[in-house]
């Protein structure tokens, strides 16, 4: 099996690209490093393609290892044939390999193993050969012993052996699976009479070949919660006919073999394949859900930060009061407090007085309100208060709703305790809410990605695979933005290419003991951060106000010399990057460059040169600045205010396979179903919208009882 050729065909890229990338991975390079700094080697493969390549490489290498184990096991049994060798070599999935190995596995006690122990295997072989002209009953008499006391016992034992052989036949299983996938139907029935979220699945049928992943996960959950009974309907007659045609060659053996085939299918093949097909569907659904979750997470992590503002985090609650935390533009906590504008206290006057006092004292521009319990009442209170601030002080203050998913998880975490040892757990939640608005990436990396409230069925999918996938998503997001080495927490630093948690903690410790780092190469003084780790991480580390202006950019140290030569060629030096007046002229000169010629002169790749030019044109610029900013509100939209055909501006909060959920300023997010996302056919909602997008929507349905809103984007333009 040529692994690089298989991957090249699957990803529609050149075999040489795959081989060179595999070499880079095997040398210990991380995917973010390869994607950013080895473009010439890979031919410019994106981080997404590189992740897919890496995943398939691991799978196919595991497949090769398993094939070798199976080959050795069969060979040790003295049963390896050329045909088996060929089948193993051609197998492209672990499932195929396991089917080939099935007849050679050491089995537990089965009806067939019991019959073999009684010496009935030769009798079973005679029946399968179908050459004997004598009556089967007469042949059976030859196999009577103290353990096999009757003809019927002998025949039944032989049939048990044959049934297991049929069940273990890899080719039969492969073809029967095709019947399942071509014509099989997932069928569900309610097991309880009460109304539930699974009521729609009573007497529900859908083809295996077309059932979408979110429906598989919903059905699995319904079954787990014992609301649904799930079965697979299949074309049993066609399957039995297929087996009969391939097994029966002598009409004399038709009756006994048809009975055996039916027993083999119903007792052994059907239960086994039903489980396999359900597991296959679940695995594919898990993969799809994890992909959706990963895309959503990356978009959330790369949401535009609101910089240069003093933000008040407002964590709503009823009985225990609303927690407040004020942070300055650097994220430093200025003030904390608790007010009681909600039930049961309803101290609106006292709460208003305290909030206005904080707004005045700390010069607050923005209030971030968590979207959890009592959020609606808190929003009304905040909107009314900032109106008074405008009237009394002529000061503009805005608010926005922020997802508080995971804030309580963070508040009680070890990291939060380390960051704020002297603060109450509940106040840490308000700090997290404020910081999410100010720098979503820096704050969300502190939280288990499963707890950030996006995606679909994240608690139902394979948790290990979900965690692995989300770690890679966070890693990509962090390395896309870059990290300020002098302000980043160790949790943020630990996602930088080449840096693990131990090294990240060592960087923070080094910083605490020696003060701010002045240049990237100072990282080499950090314990356990050697030359290899430095090569992987250096380009993603930023050193604002350091010795080298190139270190506020993503230019890698290996390209410093070429970069300085480039600047010299256009009449500037690296220090000029910090001069705003000169920067505009530098941009103009860089735009005139013939990259082909200059890359040859500087002896660097053309793609690397293009990246350097981009970095020099916007030194220190945060790539997230291009993302949509949060919607800032001054007043409240009530559910009762909604009317059909009303046009609203909203923020995309979550994306699933069946549509997108939009925050339009009422308590619950509205749903734009996949059929309402565009005037054209939509294959995937993520092709149309992204988390954080600001879009125009039209109200097309209002369910007052369930407080649900249906929205449409048809004939609407995104902004």
DSSP code string of 186-197: EEEEESSSS--T
Highest mean pLDDT pick, 96-105, 367-376, 665-674:
96-105
Please indicate, yes or no, whether residues 13 and 93 belong to a single structural domain of this protein.
yes
* Contact between residue 503 and residue 327 where contact means Cβ atoms under 8 Å apart: no
The pLDDT of residue 464:
86
482-to-78, 499, 613 alpha-carbon distances in Å: 58, 13, 17
Give the pLDDT mean for 69-94.
93
Residue 396 tokens, joined: 């503009």
**Does pLDDT of 717 surpass 60?**
no
CATH code where residue 321 lies: 3.30.420.140
Residue 162 tokens, joined: 């044959």
Confidence band of 716 (pLDDT split at 50, 70, 90): confident
Please indicate, yes or no, whether residues 60 and 135 belong to a single structural domain of this protein.
no
Please indicate, yes or no, whether residues 150 and 272 belong to a single structural domain of this protein.
yes
Name which residue leads in pLDDT, 295 or 259: 259
Last residue of a domain, one of 619, 648, 675: 619
The pLDDT of residue 719:
42
Last residue of a domain, one of 75, 104, 133: 104
Annotate 393-423 with b (16+ C-beta within 10 A) or e (fewer): eeeebbbbbbbbbbbbbbbebeebeebbeeb
Please indicate, yes or no, whether residues 583 and 677 belong to a single structural domain of this protein.
no
Please indicate, yes or no, whether residues 326 and 422 belong to a single structural domain of this protein.
yes
The verdict on residue 531 lying in a domain is no
Nearest-angstrom CA–CA distance, 694 and 512: 41
The pLDDT of residue 375:
85
Please indicate, yes or no, whether residues 581 and 647 belong to a single structural domain of this protein.
no
Nearest-angstrom CA–CA distance, 107 and 84: 20
Task: Tokens 């608690």: give the residue.
Answer: 459
Give pLDDT tens digits for 657-674: 889 998 887 777 899 999
Confidence band of 636 (pLDDT split at 50, 70, 90): low
Residue 678: domain span:
639-712
The residue among 374, 278, 354 whose CA lies nearest residue 312 is 354
CATH code where residue 165 lies: 1.10.3500.10
Give pLDDT tens digits for 174-228: 999 999 999 999 999 999 887 778 888 989 999 999 999 889 999 999 999 999 9
* Contact between residue 422 and residue 390 where contact means Cβ atoms under 8 Å apart: no
Please state the domain count of the chain. 5
* Contact between residue 261 and residue 239 where contact means Cβ atoms under 8 Å apart: no
DSSP 265: I
Angle 152-153-159 from CA coordinates, rounded to 5°: 90
Please indicate, yes or no, whether residues 83 and 219 belong to a single structural domain of this protein.
no
Nearest-angstrom CA–CA distance, 599 and 593: 10
Give the pLDDT mean for 516-522.
95
The pLDDT of residue 447:
82
Give the pLDDT mean for 507-521.
94
CATH code where residue 92 lies: 1.10.10.650
Confidence band of 301 (pLDDT split at 50, 70, 90): confident
Angle, nearest 10°, between helix axes 15-26 and 3-11?
120
**Cis preceding-peptide flag for 495 (omega within 30 of 0):** no
**Does pLDDT of 137 surpass 50?**
yes
This prediction's pTM: 0.81
Please indicate, yes or no, whether residues 10 and 122 belong to a single structural domain of this protein.
no
Please indicate, yes or no, whether residues 554 and 684 belong to a single structural domain of this protein.
no
């Amino acid at each position: 099996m040529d692994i690089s050729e298989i991957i090249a065909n699957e990803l529609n890229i050149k075999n040489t690209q795959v081989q060179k990338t595999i070499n880079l991975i095997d040398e210990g390079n991380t995917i973010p490093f390869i994607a950013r700094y080895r473009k010439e080697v890979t031919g410019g493969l994106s981080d997404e393609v590189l992740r897919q390549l890496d995943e398939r490489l691991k799978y196919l290498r595991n497949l090769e290892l398993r094939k070798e184990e199976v080959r050795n096991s069969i060979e040790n049994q003295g049963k390896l044939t050329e045909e088996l060798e060929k089948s193993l070599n051609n197998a492209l999935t672990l499932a195929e390999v396991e089917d080939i190995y099935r007849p050679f596995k050491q089995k537990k006690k089965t009806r067939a193993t019991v019959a073999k122990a009684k010496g009935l295997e030769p009798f079973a072989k005679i029946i399968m050969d179908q050459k004997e002209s004598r009556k089967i009953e007469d042949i059976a008499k030859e196999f009577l012993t103290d353990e096999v006391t009757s003809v019927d016992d002998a025949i039944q034992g032989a049939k048990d052996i044959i049934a297991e052989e049929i069940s273990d036949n890899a080719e039969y299983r492969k073809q029967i699976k095709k019947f399942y996938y071509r014509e099989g139907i997932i069928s569900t029935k309610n097991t309880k009479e009460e109304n539930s979220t699974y009521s729609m699945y009573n007497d529900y049928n859908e083809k295996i070949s077309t059932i979408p992943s979110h429906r598989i996960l919903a059905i699995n959950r319904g079954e787990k919660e014992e609301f649904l009974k799930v079965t697979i309907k299949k074309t049993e007659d066609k399957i039995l006919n297929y087996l009969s045609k391939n097994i029966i060659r002598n009409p004399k053996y038709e009756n006994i073999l048809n009975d055996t085939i039916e027993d083999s299918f119903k007792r052994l093949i059907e239960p086994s394949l039903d489980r396999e097909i359900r597991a296959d569907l679940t695995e594919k659904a898990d993969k799809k859900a994890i992909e959706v979750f990963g895309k959503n997470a990356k978009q959330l992590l790369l949401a535009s930060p609101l910089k240069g503002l003093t933000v008040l985090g407002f964590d709503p609650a009823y009985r225990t009061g609303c927690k407040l935390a004020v942070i300055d533009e650097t994220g430093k906590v200025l003030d904390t407090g608790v007010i009681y504008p909600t039930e049961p206290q309803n101290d609106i006057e006292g709460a208003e007085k305290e909030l206005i006092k904080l707004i005045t004292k700390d010069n607050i521009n923005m209030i971030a309100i968590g979207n959890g319990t009592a959020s609606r009442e808190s929003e009304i209170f905040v909107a009314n208060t900032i109106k008074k601030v405008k009237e009394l002080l002529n000061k503009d203050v805005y608010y926005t709703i922020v997802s508080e998913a995971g804030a309580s998880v963070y508040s009680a975490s070890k990291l939060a305790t380390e960051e704020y040892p002297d603060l109450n757990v509940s106040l840490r939640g308000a700090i997290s809410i404020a910081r999410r608005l100010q720098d979503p990436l820096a704050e969300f990396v502190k939280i288990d990605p499963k707890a950030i409230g996006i995606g679909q069925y994240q608690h139902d999918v394979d948790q290990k695979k979900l965690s692995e996938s989300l770690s890679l998503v966070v890693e990509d997001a962090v390395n896309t933005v870059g990290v300020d080495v002098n302000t980043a927490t160790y949790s943020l630093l630990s996602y930088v290419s080449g840096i693990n948690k131990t090294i990240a903690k060592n960087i923070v410790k080094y910083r605490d003991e020696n003060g701010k780092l002045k240049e990237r190469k100072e990282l080499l003084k950090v314990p356990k951060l050697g030359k290899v780790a430095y090569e992987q991480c250096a380009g993603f580390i930023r050193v604002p106000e350091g010795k080298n202006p190139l270190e506020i950019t993503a230019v890698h140290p290996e390209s410093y010399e070429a970069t300085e030569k480039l600047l010299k060629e256009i009449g500037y030096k690296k220090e000029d990057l910090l001069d705003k007046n000169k920067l505009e002229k530098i941009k103009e000169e860089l735009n005139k460059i013939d990259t082909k010629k200059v890359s040859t002169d500087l002896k660097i790749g053309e793609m690397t040169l293009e990246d350097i030019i981009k970095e020099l044109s916007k030194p220190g610029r945060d790539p997230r600045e291009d993302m949509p900013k949060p919607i800032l509100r001054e007043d409240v939209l009530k559910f009762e205010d909604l009317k059909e055909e009303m046009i609203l501006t909203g923020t995309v909060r979550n994306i699933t396979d069946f549509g997108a959920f939009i925050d339009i300023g009422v308590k619950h997010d509205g749903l734009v179903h996949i059929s309402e996302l565009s005037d054209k056919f939509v294959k995937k909602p993520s092709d149309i919208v992204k988390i954080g997008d600001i879009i125009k929507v039209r109200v097309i349905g209002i369910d007052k009882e369930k407080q649900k809103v249906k929205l449409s984007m048809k004939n609407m333009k995104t902004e």
